[in-house]
Amino acid sequence: MEHLEGALRPYPWGSHTLIAQLRGEPSPSPQPQAELWFGAHPAAPATVNGQGLDDAIAADPAAALGKRVQDAHGDQLPFLVKLLAAAAPLSIQAHPSLEQAKEGFERENAEGIELNSPSRNYKDPNHKPELIVALTEFRALAGFRPVPDTAAFFAELGSPELDRYATLLPTDGEGDLRALFTTLISLPHQPRVELIESVKRAAAELVDKRNAPAWMVEAAEVYLELNQTYPGDVGVLAALLLNVLTLAPGEAAFLRAGQLHAYLSGLGVEVMANSDNVLRGGLTTKHVDVPELVKVLDFSTLENPRAEAAPSHGGVEFQLPVDSFAVRMHALDDGDTLAVDEDGPAIVLCTAGEVRGADGFVLTQGNGAWVPASEAATEITAAGKSQVFVATV
């Protein structure tokens, strides 16, 4: 087990306090701290003993990954662990499937688009299913809301302009939202502004009266919040179709490739396939490519974006329909021990307290450790109440 120095990403939506306070650093930080990457993605590899984790793995992939993982995923670490701290909403976005990512990456390479170009959509040939586990209250938009609920929400808003588009909802209460979403996100400037303003008035009235179901009031509040941050942005219309989710610490959400989402606020641990592919549809000053977003979107609805957890190894393991990563969360009391005994690589992230190894290794909160496959059967002990995440394959 070796210390893993995370790579900081100072995106504008990041918090000046959440990661700094977790790590015991001066707060507020001078720049936004949006994400701290603990992984081997070439865009921002973490470092181990001063060397990029990607290079450390490339130097001896068999020892780093183990035969099972190497046979299944090649010579690269198949997952990426992050601390994510949102002080403002992230873009409305989705991520491609593995097949879409490979095609898009090859296409943009053939077109000569540089990897660091702001107009680049595909930074790598990998998919990006992702899990977010809340460390503080964490708010998100996650997947298309079931059609009957969206129809009821539109009716409760009572916006005449929105009612015209509500006719594009599937009439049987099932089916996908392709027709409505693509229409809304493609509106010309003037009708878009008129629709946004009409819904803004209706949402403000719904919030003031508070005589609608609580989830509708919350959805209206989020719409108003987003429009205040990004006035007139088409992304606020997309938000009308999405589940509003608030996670308590320890709760999680999982999103498959192609599911539209946007994180709104809070601190969490994010684990995903090893990718930086993002297709954006609004709520951002970054590159937006609506046609490409529509190509990768899954337009089916998502009734429950929450990820369930089951007891495992003395903690809980989140139940995920992917083979590129697995995630366990452990709450430890003083003196409790935890064995990290894998036949593949692991990244350990301490999010509360402190844990120690038998060789004097110390891991404090907000910091990570790398456990290559060749160092199986590592054991750590909690010094006081602690919390650790273990990400494996």
189 is in an annotated binding site: no
Provide the CATH number for the domain around residue 319. Answer: 2.60.120.10
Please say if the pLDDT value at position 244 is more than 90.
yes
- Find all residues with CB under 8 Å of 190, minimum gap 6, and list them: none
Domain enclosing residue 208, as ranges: 146-241
Q: What pLDDT was estimated at residue 174? A: 67
Q: Is the pLDDT of residue 265 over 90?
A: yes
Q: Which two tokens stand for residue 252?
A: 């999680």
The reported pLDDT for the residue numbered 173 is 63
* Confidence (pLDDT) at 171: 81
Is the pLDDT at 20 greater than 80, yes or no? yes
- One domain, residues 126 and 254: yes
Q: Decide if 86 contacts 32 (C-beta within 8 A).
A: no
194, 160 Cβ separation under 8 angstroms: no
Residue 161: partners with Cβ closer than 8 Å, 6 or more residues away: 194, 195, 198, 199
- Position 86 scores a pLDDT of 98
Residue 331 neighbours by CB under 8 Å, 6+ apart: 315, 385, 386, 387
Domain for residue 304, yes or no?
Answer: no
313 is in an annotated binding site: no
Give Cα separations from 257 to 124, 263, 314, 321 (angstroms): 14, 15, 30, 11
Instruction: Give residue 359's pLDDT.
Output: 84
Asked if 18 and 132 sit in the same domain, the reply is yes
pLDDT number for residue 313: 87
Query: Which pair of structure tokens corresponds to residue 109?
Result: 């390479």
Residue 301 lies inside a defined structural domain of this protein: no
d(CA 204, CA 268) in angstroms, rounded, equals 30
Report percent pLDDT > 90 for the chain.
94
| 280 is an active site residue | yes
Q: Which of 36-40, 128-132, 324-328, 377-381 has the lowest mean pLDDT?
A: 377-381
Across the beta sheet with 386-392, the strand order is 2-4, 367-371, 346-352, 386-392, 326-332, 315-318, 309-312
pLDDT tens, residue by residue, 206-239: 999 999 999 999 999 999 999 999 999 999 999 9
Annotate 324-338 with b (16+ C-beta within 10 A) or e (fewer).
Answer: bbbbbbbbbeeeeeb
What is the band of 193 on the pLDDT scale with cuts at 50, 70, 90? very high
Report pLDDT for 175. 73
Percent of the chain with pLDDT over 70: 99
Averaged pLDDT for residues 231-258: 97
3-state secondary structure the chain: CEEEECEEECCCCEECCHHHHHCCCCCCCCCCECEEEECCCCCCCCEECCEEHHHHHHHCHHHHHHHHHHHHHCCCCCEEEEEEEECCCCCEEECCCHHHHHHHHHHHHHCCCCCCCCCCCCCCCCCCCEEEEECCCEEEEEEECCHHHHHHHHHHHCCHHHHHHHCCCCCCCCCCCHHHHHHHHCCCHHHHHHHHHHHHHHHHHHHHHCCCCHHHHHHHHHHHHHHHHCCCCCHHHHHCCEEEEEECCCCEEEECCCCCEEEEEEEEEEEEECCCCCEEEECCCCCCCHHHHHHHCCCCECCCCECCEEEECCEEEECCCCCCCEEEEEEECCCCEEEECCCCCEEEEEEECEEEECCCCEEECCEEEEECHHHCCEEEEECCCEEEEEEEC
Global pTM?
Answer: 0.95
Instruction: Clarify whether residues 219 and 327 are in a common domain.
Output: no
The rounded distance, in Å, linking the Cα atoms of 108 and 115 is 9
The answer on 175 and 128 residing in a single domain is: no
At 360 the pLDDT is 87
Backbone angles phi, psi at 91, to 5 degrees: -65, 150
Q: Say whether both 327 and 206 belong to one domain.
A: no
167, 289: one domain: no
Q: Are 362 and 341 in contact, with CB atoms under 8 Å apart? A: no
Whether the per-residue pLDDT at 72 is higher than 70: the answer is yes
The rounded Cα 47 to chain-centroid distance in angstroms is 22
Tell whether 130 is in a known binding site. Answer: yes
Q: How many domains does the chain have?
A: 3
The angle at the Cα of 376, spanning 370 to 381, to the nearest 5 degrees, equals 70
Residue type at 60 in one-letter notation: D
Q: Do 236 and 257 fall into the same domain?
A: no
pLDDT of residue 274: 96
Point out the catalytic residue in the list 145, 256, 280, 328. Answer: 280
Mean pLDDT of the chain: 96
What phi, psi does 94 have (nearest 5°)?
-150, 165
Instruction: Check whether residue 110 and residue 223 sit in a common domain.
Output: no
Mean pLDDT of all residues in 351-379 = 93
Are 216 and 90 in the same domain? Answer: no
- Indicate if 316 and 284 belong to the same structural domain: no
Is the pLDDT at 172 greater than 80? The verdict is: no
Are 168 and 76 part of one and the same domain?
A: no
**Residue 289 within any structural domain of the chain:** yes
Same domain, 201 and 89: no
Contact 142, 253 (CB under 8 A): yes
pLDDT of residue 207: 97
Task: Decide if 305 is inside a domain.
Answer: no
Residue type for position 91: S
- 73 annotated as belonging to a binding site for a ligand: no
**C-alpha to C-alpha distance for 328 and 389, rounded to whole angstroms:** 6
Is the dihedral angle over the CA atoms 381, 18, 42, 393 positive or is it negative? positive
Q: How confident is the model at residue 376 (pLDDT cuts 50, 70, 90)?
A: confident
